[in-house]
Amino acid sequence: MQITEHVYSTHIEEDPNTFGAMHPGGTQIYFVGDPTKEMVMIDSGENYRHWTQQIIKYHAELGSPVISTIFITHGHGDHIGGLDRLQEYFGCAVRCHPKLAPFLAHKLDSSPDEPTVQKLKSNEIIQISGETTLKAIFTPGHEEDHVVYHLKQDRVLFSGDTILGNSTGSVRNLNQYISSLRKMLTLKPEIICPGHGNTVSNATNRIQFYLHHRLQRESQILTAVKEGSVTVGQIVDTVYPRNLRKNLRAAAARNVETHLSKLVEENIIHKTDSTYSPI
Ligand SMILES: [Zn+2]
């Protein structure tokens, strides 16, 4: 599917009833550039053989352009799975956050003399083909090695798991996450191409919604604690919808824990063993 002049995507559906289906709206793998010349890819999906096969088939449908680089948004298994197969198939470079580079270099047998895996610099601008460039912006929060990529020419932001198409994602460090969202807002993108779910056409609104959502969630959690919820499980039951899918509950609990550590750090609530109380 073509999204903008320079952005193409293959959408991988995930059956909610099978193992590993964690992502509402499936996963998108992006090809960026000029299909008649040279392109790059963003992420490599899960390590399932049929995912890799779908990506290779889509590359053929695009006319088998040269793939110069695979850019990685972060080191979670659903973004770097199949990377060894795809890197070998395309014979391309892999670019990622410096914190992820040693792991990927080991995974791909990248040699120091001719490194396949190359560290990005913060705010590095990389030429893709012709005038087309991608800017790599370090956006910790969902994970500390997270990078989003800005395609200024098309006003597109590849958001990895920092912003999702059909849901809100999990956060490891909330303070970092909020400043990453603010950084993304300053880019004024029109379209967000997320790692999972549908493309978002009102990009700025979505980023503002995410910021608002986090602050609102924090106040809900604080209210729950003040009203007598003492464990993470009780807070999840109070704050999240009752019909929350089982496989999303663990992510919800992690989110609650992230908020709680921020509130503990800020001396707003108190933690004893695994129970919480207002100060
Ligand atoms: Zn993901």
CA–CA distance, 123 with 126 (Å, rounded to integer): 10
The pLDDT tens digits for 134-154 are: 999 999 999 999 999 999 999
The pLDDT tens digits for 212-223 are: 988 899 999 999
Tokens of 5: 């002049």
Distance 117 CA to ligand 1 centre (A): 20
Distance 14 CA to ligand 1 centre (A): 12
- Residue 170's pLDDT is 77
- Residue 73's pLDDT is 98
- Residue 138's pLDDT is 98
Q: Quickly tell me which residue has 């200024």 as its tokens.
A: 152
Distance 68 CA to ligand 1 centre (A): 23
Distance 277 CA to ligand 1 centre (A): 33
CA–CA distance, 71 with 90 (Å, rounded to integer): 13
Distance 131 CA to ligand 1 centre (A): 30
Distance 23 CA to ligand 1 centre (A): 7
Domains in the chain, CATH or no CATH each? 2-201 (3.60.15.10), 214-278 (1.10.10.10)
- Residue 21's pLDDT is 59
Q: Which residues surround the ion ligand 1 when the cut-off is CB under 5 Å? A: 78, 161, 195
pLDDT > 60? residue 173 = yes
Residue 95 makes CB contacts below 8 A (sequence gap 6+) with: 69, 70, 71, 72, 117, 118, 119, 120, 126, 136
The pTM (predicted TM-score) of the whole model is: 0.86
Distance 243 CA to ligand 1 centre (A): 22
CA neighbor of 160 nearest in space, from 189, 129, 108, 197: 197
CA–CA distance, 149 with 147 (Å, rounded to integer): 7
Distance 276 CA to ligand 1 centre (A): 30
Distance 27 CA to ligand 1 centre (A): 8
Distance 160 CA to ligand 1 centre (A): 7
CB 247 within 8 A of CB 214: no
Distance 170 CA to ligand 1 centre (A): 9
Classify residue 128 as exposed, middle or buried by CB count within 10 Å of its CB (0-12, 13-18, 19+): buried
Distance 130 CA to ligand 1 centre (A): 30
Complete DSSP assignment for 194-233: ESBS--BSSHHHHHHHHHHHHHHHHHHHHHHHHTT--SHH
Distance 114 CA to ligand 1 centre (A): 29
CB 148 within 8 A of CB 73: yes
Distance 230 CA to ligand 1 centre (A): 30
What confidence category does residue 40 fall into, taking pLDDT thresholds of 50, 70 and 90? Answer: very high
CA neighbor of 229 nearest in space, from 262, 251, 265, 253: 253
Distance 31 CA to ligand 1 centre (A): 17
22-54 in b/e burial notation, b at 16+ Cβ within 10 A? bbbbbbbbbbbbebeebbbbbbbbbbbeebbeb
C-alpha distances out from residue 145 to 10, 73, 121, Å: 24, 8, 12
Q: Quickly tell me which residue has 């550039």 as its tokens.
A: 33
What is the residue-averaged pLDDT of the chain? 92
206: number of Cβ within 10 Å? 21
Q: What mean pLDDT comes out for the span 14-28?
A: 73
- Residue 16's pLDDT is 67
Enumerate helices (H) and strands (E) in the chain, giving the number of each: 8, 14
pLDDT > 70? residue 240 = yes
φ, ψ at 4 (rounded to 5°): -135, -175
Distance 142 CA to ligand 1 centre (A): 10
Distance 75 CA to ligand 1 centre (A): 9
Weakest mean pLDDT among 19-23, 34-38, 213-217, 274-278: 19-23
φ, ψ at 42 (rounded to 5°): -115, 115
| The total number of residues written for the chain in this structure | 279
**Ramachandran sector of residue 43 (left: φ over 0; alpha: ψ -120 to 50; beta: rest):** left
Distance 194 CA to ligand 1 centre (A): 9
CB 102 within 8 A of CB 110: no
Distance 43 CA to ligand 1 centre (A): 10
Q: What mean pLDDT comes out for the span 239-260?
A: 86
